[in-house]
Amino acid sequence: MVSRRRERLERGIKVRTDDVYALCSTKEMLYLVAPRLIPILVLLLLPLILPTYWQKVVIFTGVFALLSISWDFLYSFTGLVSLGQALFFGVGAYLAGSLNHYFDISPGLTIPISTIAGATLCTLFLLPALRLRGIYFAMITLVLPLIFLRIIEATAILGGTDGLTALAPLPGIWIELYLILGIMLVALFALRRLVNSDFGLVLRGIHDNDQAVKGAGINIYWYKAQALFIAALLGSFAGAYLTHVYMFVGLSAFALDFTVVPIAATVVGGMGTLGGSVLGAFILVPLSEVLRAFGPLRIVFYALLIVVFIILKPEGLFNYLQRKYREFERWVEV
Amino acid sequence: MKEVPLLQVVNISKQFGGVRAVDGVSFELCQGEILGIVGPNGSGKTTLVNLLTGFIKPASGKVFYKGRDITALAAHEIAGLGIARTFQMVRPFYHLPAFKNLIVPLYSPRVKRLSGGKFGDRDAVAIDLLEEVGFERDSFVPYKPASALPHGYLKRLELARCLALRPALLILDELFSGLSMAEVASTLPVLEKLQIEGITLIMVEHRLRELFRLANRVIVLNFGAKLAEGTPQEIINNEEVKEAYLGSEAV
Amino acid sequence: MLENVLIYGLINGMVLALLAIGFALTFGISGIANFAHGALYILTGYTVWVFLHTLGTPYLLAIFLAMAITALIGAAIYNVILLRIRGMRSSEIIATFALALAILEAFRFFGFVGAKYTLPTFVEGSVSVAGVIVDYQRLILIGVGAGLVGLLWFFTHYTKTGLAFRAIAQVERTALTLGIDSDRMATLSLAFGAALAALAAIVLLPLGQITVETGLNVLLNALAICILGGLGSVTGIVAASLLLGYAQIITVTYIAPHWLMVVTLVAIFVVLLVKPSGLFGKQKELEERV
Ligand SMILES: Nc1ncnc2c1ncn2[C@@H]1O[C@H](COP(=O)(O)OP(=O)(O)OP(=O)(O)O)[C@@H](O)[C@H]1O
Ligand SMILES: [Mg+2]
């Protein structure tokens, strides 16, 4: 009997492009550049031909992609499991809404202010939980948005259950579209660079082994807080931005969707890649538009996807595709 | 006037539940010395190291470094003062390549301060340090992920990570255990060189032969308390110490 | 007024303890944070309801069947899902959390909402205790809560399984070398935790409606109590429940009902700032072996 074994080999072109040799020919250059360039081009050109309804979907997807990047950054590089992306989102959203509603500040200012102030607030809220390891951070992040929701509901502050309405819109659909897509791309590439910098190495060190990082004379709380602040920046921006797109902010800003969808997108797309989060968001959010008729069943669907991917395919789509792009498989007899 | 000792430990204690892991230990350490700490398994050596480096807070007692009370400082602050320690149970960053493991200490505020704010190529420094502790520079070894390295290399990676911090006091928790004879032989000169450079060493060790060759002074712990203190020669001839060691083996 | 606060504070405290204790037990034994705790609570409510109204089962039988079913589901959660990701704490959190949402939202989708989903109280009527009207269900609730705490204490201190639980909770690796099967213990711990969620549901749900939102509320309360009391300490859970129970009732009585959540939030923050391991936490999380 001949037994067979599957063998994985790097593609020739992958090896040829590993070093400066990539500059040899256009084909090699393309091999390197295409996986980044083509999605970016598609992303930037697609909205031009989409009908208005789907343009809105792209906006929505961009928002979730930002939240997903933020989640993956916290989870894969700092080891903090956030069950409350809705916290970042909601705080940013309510700040922008309040600034516009009560102080009549224009979106051009409310969005940057709320992004920074929201991130600061969220970091302060979660600071006490950073001293603890394990599941405390997850617990607190899950509890906080729900408590804020209850408080707003019960005390009727910030518009109570009605929310704040008739807020200032952004000037036109094109600004809306390219603002979110631009920020998303900038965030993606900036974070990908950050996690490979020395700063990112320290974060990954903390994830791997926080005691050893302490032993190396580095204050891990300070680094965790910075990472948290960065993640919260993305979330708060998403919240502030969508508030002005909707011209409304209400209790739905703390809804579980903003927590679940980013997790699902990242788990499906591939954790630890950041790009996978975006990929996941661009698969799941449009898909859920298609499934709109099923209402709450969408969340069930997302939730089940998370469970299935976590236990059966933890590497996610992005890593899978990347592997296929770089390597090929063949059966060999042994 | 007597000069201030580098490290001064006063009556330090720590209990875990009912276990008195460290029980009223005091000692002093001068600049440039090599102090050995020995004792049977579970006698509290690692706990003592953890207390000195701030990883655990003592129930009572104090630690002074260059005359300054550092008992209440956090672990990273103590490391920042130049007290580096290795972990008995190796704690590498498994997902990072070996040389990237050293980036973390090289990125610390202490190293930034010592190098005057500007820092060139951390990767190059990391590779140099690894070569110093016996990683073959021109092989793949320094570039492999730590999870793929054999135990002997991980132990020496611990040492390199401490050296990256440019320590003034280096505490080695059983650095030699698990190393082959050849690896021990090649690591000993590194430690001798450190001594010549004026770095103070505390060595927790079970390998008494190597330890007694290096150490100026040895402390023996038993059930968390200091049983004896003296030169290696005095310790070898101490009846009580023999009994503690043999007694624990004879059971 | 004062009697009211005293009695209803106690009741509220017991409610919180009942909600939290299953979650805490599972975590204390196997280190698994079962974020599906609240979903299991609601699941039990619907199971009992279905037994009563669709199948016409007697109440007592329905209760026992529902508890058994929930316990089995707990065991299944470990063996189907958690077993494959054992030891990866973050994956455990995400998986159980996602499972919770799947269960709860599925109930919402299939229309298990509305006022008709209620369970009957065990015994109708009420008594006057020191001038305060208390219905029997709430008295039963206090009894069950107190009994449960006592039983748990006895169980973990005097029975073989209980002692094995404690051994696992302390040093998993050592326990393994002593021949304690950690997978079996983890399965049991999830089953026990689920059964306690079921018990809580059975005692508490007759006091209100079964709604999907309750599921999240239960989880929320359980987490708040665990943060306050400190994970892995039954004493801490009971003390935190009573403390928060009274704090909430005092707020509701003397300030205004809508400050209730603010009090919970403030309590969590103060504890995390002052004593991060919780009021009775053993600092295990903070000071593990270096
Ligand atoms: N975090 C902890 N919690 C509970 N007990 C502990 C803890 N750390 C250490 N101990 C106990 O304290 C005592 C001393 O342990 P320690 O690790 O300091 O001994 P040691 O001298 O380093 O032993 P070895 O030679 O095996 O390394 C032991 O009884 C140990 O079980
Ligand atoms: Mg030791």
- Interface contact flag, A314 C91, Cβ < 8 Å: yes
Structure confidence at residue C169 as a pLDDT band (50, 70, 90): low
A312: pLDDT strictly greater than 50: yes
d(CA B22, CA B12): 7
Residues in chain C with CB shorter than 8 Å from the CB of A131 are 272, 276, 286
Residue nearest to atom 2 of ligand 1 (CA): C289
pLDDT digits (tens, 9 = 90+) for A204-250: 999 888 899 999 999 999 999 999 999 999 999 999 999 999 999 99
- How far apart, in Å, do the first and last CA atoms of chain B sit? 49
Q: Tell how strand A4-10 and strand B34-38 pair up.
A: unpaired
Model pLDDT, residue A88: 96
- Give percent above pLDDT 90 in chain B: 54
Backbone angles phi and psi of A9, in degrees to 5: -130, 150
Range of A185's domain? 4-333
Question: Is A111 in contact with A174 (CB distance < 8 Å)?
Answer: no
Whole-complex ipTM: 0.89
Quote the minimal CA–CA distance from B94 to chain A in Å: 7
d(CA B111, CA B116): 8
Average pLDDT of B77-93?
93
Q: How many CB atoms lie within 10 A of CB B34?
A: 23
Model pLDDT, residue B251: 37
User: Which letter does DSSP use for residue A156 in this model?
Assistant: -
- Interface contact flag, C90 A75, Cβ < 8 Å: yes
What dotted CATH number matches C2-289? Answer: 1.10.3470
3-state class (DSSP) for residue A143 = helix
3-state class (DSSP) for residue C57 = coil
d(CA A58, CA A77): 27
Interface test with C, best of A254, A292, A307 (most C CBs within 10 A): A307
d(CA A159, CA A163): 4
Please give the order of strands across the beta sheet that includes B7-16. B19-29, B7-16, B60-65, B68-69
> Token pair of C205, please?
């749900």
> Token pair of B182, please?
């050849």
- How far apart, in Å, do the first and last CA atoms of chain A sit? 10
Structure confidence at residue A24 as a pLDDT band (50, 70, 90): low
- Interface contact flag, A201 B80, Cβ < 8 Å: no
Residues in chain A with CB shorter than 8 Å from the CB of C264 are 147
B249: pLDDT strictly greater than 60: no
Q: Which amino acid is at C54?
A: T
pLDDT digits (tens, 9 = 90+) for B94-124: 989 999 999 999 999 999 898 877 777 888 8
Give the dihedral of Cα atoms C12, C265, A137, B49; nearest 10 deg: -90
**Comparing B93 with C259, which gets the higher pLDDT?**
B93
C86: pLDDT strictly greater than 90: no
Average pLDDT of C188-205?
91
pLDDT digits (tens, 9 = 90+) for C87-146: 788 889 999 999 999 999 898 888 776 667 788 887 787 788 777 788 888 888 888 888
Write the secondary structure of chain B as one string of H (helix), E (strand) and C (coil). Answer: CCCCCCEEEEEEEEEECCEEEEEEEEEEECCCCEEEEECCCCCCHHHHHHHHCCCCCCCEEEEEECCEECCCCCHHHHHHCCEEECCCCCCCCCCCEHHHHCHHHHCCHHHHHHCCCCCCCHHHHHHHHHHHCCCCCCCCHHHCEHHHCCHHHHHHHHHHHHHHCCCCEEEEECCCCCCCHHHHHHHHHHHHHHHHCCCEEEEECCCHHHHHHHCCEEEEEECCEEEEEECHHHHHCCHHHHHHHHHHHHC
Quote the minimal CA–CA distance from B106 to chain C in Å: 22
Model pLDDT, residue B100: 92
pLDDT digits (tens, 9 = 90+) for A169-188: 999 899 999 999 999 999 99
Of C97, C227, C258, the CB nearest to A154: C258
DSSP A277-318: HHHHHHHHHHHHHHTGGGTTHHHHHHHHHHHHHHHH-TTHHH
Closest ligand 1 atom to B45 CA? 21
- Provide the number of structural domains found in chain A: 1
pLDDT digits (tens, 9 = 90+) for A88-143: 999 999 999 999 999 999 999 999 999 999 999 999 999 988 887 768 888 889 88
Q: Which of B50-59, B168-177, C50-59, C252-261 has the lowest mean pLDDT?
A: C252-261
Q: Look-up: residue for tokens 């059964």?
A: C195
Pocket-forming residues, ligand 1, beta carbon under 6 Å: B 16, 19, 21, 39, 41-47, 88; C 289
Kindly report the CATH number assigned to the domain that includes residue A20: 1.10.3470
Model pLDDT, residue C185: 82
Instruction: Kindly list the partner chains of chain A, i.e. chains with 3 or more CB atom pairs below 8 Å.
Output: B, C
DSSP A45-103: HHHHHS-HHHHHHHHHHHHHHHHHHHHHIIIIII----S-HHHHHHHHHHHHHHHHHHH
pLDDT digits (tens, 9 = 90+) for B169-215: 999 999 998 888 888 888 899 999 998 998 999 999 888 888 888 89
Q: Tell how strand A4-10 and strand A327-333 pair up.
A: antiparallel
What Å distances lie between residue C50 and A145, A288, C191, C208, CA to CA? 33, 31, 21, 17
Q: Please, what sign has the CA dihedral across residues A251, A257, A259, A262?
A: negative
Question: Is B114 in contact with B138 (CB distance < 8 Å)?
Answer: no
Backbone angles phi and psi of A287, in degrees to 5: -60, -40
Structure confidence at residue C173 as a pLDDT band (50, 70, 90): low
Name which of A66, A37, A46 is nearest A190 in CA terms. Answer: A66
Q: Tell me the residue length of chain A.
A: 334
Domains, chain B: 1-80+208-251 (3.40.50.300)
d(CA A330, CA A234): 42
Structure confidence at residue C168 as a pLDDT band (50, 70, 90): low
Average pLDDT of B19-43?
91
- Give percent above pLDDT 90 in chain A: 53
B101: CA distance to ligand 2 center in Å? 23
d(CA A309, CA C91): 11
- When the pLDDT of each residue in chain C is averaged and rounded to a whole number, the result is 84
- Interface contact flag, A300 C105, Cβ < 8 Å: yes
Question: Is A231 in contact with A74 (CB distance < 8 Å)?
Answer: yes
What Å distances lie between residue A89 and A67, A118, A243, C124, CA to CA? 8, 9, 10, 46
3-state class (DSSP) for residue C38 = helix
pLDDT digits (tens, 9 = 90+) for A73-95: 999 998 899 998 999 999 999 99
B44: CA distance to ligand 2 center in Å? 7
d(CA A95, CA B118): 40
> Token pair of A101, please?
């509603």
User: Which letter does DSSP use for residue A170 in this model?
Assistant: P
Domain ranges of chain C: 2-289
Q: Please, what sign has the CA dihedral across residues B205, B211, B212, B216?
A: negative
Q: Which residues keep their CB under 5 angstroms from ion ligand 2?
A: B 45-46, 88
